[in-house]
Each structure stands twice: as C-alpha cells, then as structure tokens.
Amino acid sequence: TKTINSFPKNFLWGSATAAFQCEGAAYEDGKGLSVMDVREQNPKICNYEVASDHYHHFKEDVALMKECGLKAYRFSIAWTRIFPQGNGNVNQLGVDFYNRLIDELVAANITPIVTIYHFEYPQGLIEQYGGWLSRKSIDDYVNYASFLFKTYGDRVKYWITINEQDHVVHMPFRLGLKGDDLYENEKAGFLANHHMCIAAAKTFKACHELVEGGKIGPAVCFDMMYPTSNRPADMMAWLDAMEIRNYYVLDLNVKGEYGGVFKRYLEDRGWMPKLQEGDLACLKENKPDFIGFNYYASKSISAYPLSDKNKIGDMVIKLLPAEEAGIYKVVKNENLNATLWGWEIDDIGLEGVCRLLWERYRLPLMITENGFGNKEVMPEEGMIQDDDRIDYLHRHLLAVKRAMNVGVEFIGYCNWSFMDIVSGHSGFSKRYGLVYVNRDEFDLKDLSRSKKKSFYWYQETIACNGENI
Ligand code: BG6
C-alpha cells in the first residue's frame, strides 16, 4: 500500500463551538430558556449569560476564522432561539441571526457544520411533557430539525444531530431531572436515549429528503479505553466498558440495534426501554452518512468486583451505574500526562479510536471536537504562547494521519474551540481557544479578541494542507 503523507485536498480543517458556550445574549431577541440557562451551577461558577458575546461579535469572529484560513466552522443552533418553547411559534429574530451567521461564513468560504442540538434542551418541553422522557419529544425534535433543513439547507450541507448523547444520558440536569436517585436517573436516561435514537433516525431521513446533497451524522464522545493490566478480569471489564459506555449510541444510530452486552446490562437492571412496534425497523432503515466524534482523552479500566451489599439472594442485582456496580472502574494511567483537570492526554488513543470506529462501522469520520483546556493569562505585551496546545493539536493530527495510512477515511477535523468560550463544567478559566477572549469569570472586561500562538500555527497548518504534520 502507498503511504499517505498528505491530507486529502478537500479535508475540512475546522474549528468548533457550541451556542450556550459562546453566544451569550441568553435573554435577548426572544430566546427561550434551555436547561443550560437554568442549571444550578450557573450563577456560582461564572457569568454564563454573556459567554463570549459571539451573538454581537460574530462578524469579527468570522473575520478571524477567515484570517486563520478555516475551511469549516462547526457551531450549534440554540433551539430556543428558533422555537422559544421548543415547539409552537417560531422566533423570527433567532432565525435571522443564524441566517446572518451562515451568510457571513459562506461569504468567507467557510463550510458551515451545524449541530442541531448541543445540550441546550428547551426548558419549555421539560415543562410541557417532561422532555426526552416522553415520546412526544421525538416529533418536536424532528420538526425543529426539519425547520432548520428547510430554512438553512440551501447553504448548510453538513449536519450533526445530537452532541454527546452518550453524556446527556448520564447527566440528569441536561434531561431536566431534579431527583438524585441514581437508579431512577439512569433508568430515565436510557429511556431518553431510546427516544433520542428514534428522533435521530427520523432526522437522518428528513435531512436526506430536505437538503440537496446534505450529509448528517451524530457527534458522540468517544474516549479511548484500555484494560489497566493483563489480568483477564481487567480485559473483560474493559470490553464491558467499551460496550456500555462507548459504542451503545453508535450501534443504535448506525447498526440500528441494541448491542448484546448493552442490552443485557439494561435488562439486568430493569432499564431496558419498552420498544414500540416499528422502532427497530426505523433505526435499521435510517443511517447517518458519517460518524462525528469528540475526542479529548483516554481512560484506563479495571475490574471492580461487586460487594455483598449489591447482592440479593443468589442473584446479582446490579442496581447502580456501571462504575459503582461491579463492572468496571476508571483508574489513573501512570503512562500519560494529564491536563490541569486530570484529562489524560493521549494522541495514540485517538489513532486507536479512529481505527476501531472505522473497522466497526465503515463510515467516514469527522472529528467534531479535539482540544486542550488550560488556564491562561494575557501577557502585558505580545501574545499567549500556548505551546502546550500546539503540541497537543500537532500530535493528535499526526494520529489522524497514521489512521489514514491504514485506510481510515476522514471528512475533517475540528479543534475545540475557535475562541475561548465558557467551559462545559469549569467556567471561563478553562480556555481552549486559538483566540483569547478578554474576560474573567465575573469581570466581563472588554471581551476583546487576541490571537494566540496556536492561531498562527493552525493558520500555517491549514495553508500547507497539513504538510507540516
Ligand atoms: C465536550 C462538549 O464534552 O467537551 C463541549 O461537547 C465541552 O461542550 C467540551 O466544552 C470540553 O469540556 P469542558 O468541560 O472542558 O468544557
């Protein structure tokens, strides 16, 4: 086989963000509330309402993207800007905002990649019928997505259905759940998962019908996992963890099936959702065009024997979520360095994920997020010298190249994030951007943008189509 030294000519060199993390304007122009607006951590950790104020700075941000040479920009649409209650009336001001953003991108020759739903589930739907826990959620999601296809599909050809569904399932507040009973929350999470998968399948179909040349896929989170030792029990724990944490959404999205281990795991706990007639056929018939995945780190998996307190009679009743219930636990990997937040940095893990996904599903891959979070302070003079980030991105792109060399096909790669934005969990002090945004947790300063060293590195990388990798 010929060794591939170059990235494909049409490789989408991209960068990504999500609406609630960058837009700000949380209460402006008719936007409705989402679960991310009302979550408990908001007022405590930082000011979320303004975020990076991209809503008012988008022209400047797109100009910077153009200067960087981006071929693609992945952003999410805030569902409640379009439908403030999640369904019902359309908010024209919200529709107009994304028209302006998309037009600006197209004029700059940047391919828009649109995430339909990135954690921001409408609070209105939680109040109307309990959100994803109700089957009604399927139609409302498909209607919303179809509205986007009809409105923006003339210019947007790449679509992402749901960001990190596999995480949403285990995060009760993102589903609008209030209780703290782990067992009930997981049960609800897997019911929501089923509804999300049916909604995604119907949306793959709608995209193919409504968007000429449209391509659509999910964006799951896929951490590489390793068995922590060569003890056979660790190997089995690793196999289980891969099935019940990593593959389950993609198996439903792509193969249209509940994987054997995953199904058993749900059934043992009484968590298997009741399927309706036609559900499995719907999943089987409708496929994505590519697999999008977010990759940041790897995890080491060790066996974790059940304790007696989880046993009832002769039967092992595993009531708690996997990590606490005798299937596996995550342990520190002594071979890897980690970020300040303990995320273990592992480019070889990315190569492994690309190969695993390609072998299992045979669909082209789009890396929808990959990046390095750090604390950064703007120097008095000059720019932020984020060599650690450059090293991280360089190594991970090299891993993509190695995967290409064994036949894996890629559509593109999006670093996370283009500019500094509010972190999912850690406020504004965890920065990922190629562009610095001048604000602190609560002091919003002037929100000015400054290019970091990594901006210039990515610019050069794109300009030579990755020949420097
Ligand atoms: C992914 C999410 O989980 O990871 C992003 O899709 C998030 O929304 C990113 O920001 C990094 O996580 P964090 O918590 O470091 O911001």
> CA–CA separation, 287 vs 216, rounded Å?
9
Cβ of residue 425 lying under 6 Å from some atom of ligand 1? yes
Asked if residue 330 has pLDDT above 80, the reply is yes
Closest CA to 415 of 437, 438, 434, 388: 434
Specify whether the CB–CB gap between 165 and 190 falls below 8 A: no
- Whether residue 209 lies in the annotated active site: no
Complex-level ipTM: 0.99
- For residue range 373-394, list pLDDT tens digits in order: 999 999 999 999 999 999 999 9
- Between the CA of 55 and the centroid of ligand 1 the distance, in Å, is 20
What local confidence, expressed as pLDDT, does residue 315 receive? 43
Whether cis (ω within 30° of 0) applies to the bond prior to 417 is yes
Q: What top-level class would CATH report for the domain 12-463?
A: alpha beta
Q: Rg of the chain's alpha carbons, rounded to an integer?
A: 22
- For residue range 30-79, list pLDDT tens digits in order: 999 999 999 888 888 999 999 999 999 999 999 999 999 999 999 999 99
- For residue range 187-244, list pLDDT tens digits in order: 999 999 999 999 999 999 999 999 999 999 999 999 999 999 999 999 999 999 999 9
Tokens of 182: 């782990």
Cβ of residue 164 lying under 6 Å from some atom of ligand 1? yes
What local confidence, expressed as pLDDT, does residue 314 receive? 44
Cβ of residue 292 lying under 6 Å from some atom of ligand 1? no
Asked if residue 316 has pLDDT above 60, the reply is no
Specify whether the CB–CB gap between 460 and 65 falls below 8 A: no
Amino acid at 416: W
- pLDDT, the chain, mean: 94
Residues 6+ apart with CB under 8 A from 107: none
Amino acid at 56: H
Cβ of residue 430 lying under 6 Å from some atom of ligand 1? yes
Position 321 confidence tier, pLDDT thresholds 50, 70, 90: low
**Angle value at C-alpha 255, between 250 and 257, nearest 5 degrees:** 90
What local confidence, expressed as pLDDT, does residue 270 receive? 87
Neighbours of 130 (CB within 10 A): 16
- Between the CA of 424 and the centroid of ligand 1 the distance, in Å, is 5
Asked if residue 252 has pLDDT above 60, the reply is yes
- For residue range 419-438, list pLDDT tens digits in order: 999 999 899 999 999 999 99
What local confidence, expressed as pLDDT, does residue 32 receive? 98
- Whether residue 369 lies in the annotated active site: yes
> CA–CA separation, 200 vs 198, rounded Å?
5
> CA–CA separation, 467 vs 461, rounded Å?
7
User: Domain residues of the chain, as ranges?
Assistant: 12-463
Which of the following is catalytic: 104, 164, 344, 376?
Answer: 164
- Contacts made by residues 356-359, CB under 8 angstroms, sequence distance 24+: 357/222, 357/250, 357/291, 357/293, 358/403, 358/407, 358/408, 358/409
> CA–CA separation, 394 vs 397, rounded Å?
5
For atom 10 of ligand 1, which residue has the closest CA? 424
Tokens of 87: 């369904």
Tokens of 115: 């995430």
Asked if residue 312 has pLDDT above 70, the reply is no
Specify whether the CB–CB gap between 252 and 335 falls below 8 A: no
Give the chain's largest Cα–Cα span: 69
- For residue range 13-24, list pLDDT tens digits in order: 999 999 999 999
Closest CA to 296 of 405, 152, 393, 379: 393
- For residue range 254-280, list pLDDT tens digits in order: 999 999 999 998 988 889 999 999 999
Handedness of CA 165, 319, 129, 47 (dihedral sign): negative
